[in-house]
Amino acid sequence: MNHSIHSADRATHLKVVVLALVAGIAVAGFGISARTGSDYTQSARVIKAGKPVTVTSSDVSVIR
C-alpha cells in the first residue's frame, strides 16, 4: 500500500478527486435544502431616541 500522495498512481489521484467532488456536491446540496425550508421575510423596526443617559463604568461610590 502506498501512503504518499506524491508517489501514488493515476487511479489513486482520480479516486481522491472524485471523492472530493462528491463530498462537495453533498455539502452544497445539504446547504441548499436546509435553506429553502425557512422563511426569510424581514420587517423594519423603528427605534426612536429617548432621553439622554449618562453611563459610567466606575463601581466607586461618591462620598460628599
pLDDT at 47: 80
Instruction: Tell whether the model's pLDDT for residue 60 goes beyond 90.
Output: no
CA distance 61 to 64: 10
Average pLDDT over residues 35-52: 74
Residue by residue, DSSP assigns 1-64 as ----STT--HHHHHHHHHHHHHHHHHHHHHHHHHHHTS------------S--------PPP--
- Spell out the residues 6+ positions from residue 5 whose beta carbon is closer than 8 angstroms to its own: 12, 13, 16
Instruction: Tell whether the model's pLDDT for residue 31 goes beyond 90.
Output: no
pLDDT at 64: 62
Instruction: Tell whether the model's pLDDT for residue 53 goes beyond 80.
Output: no
- For the entire predicted model, the pTM comes to 0.49
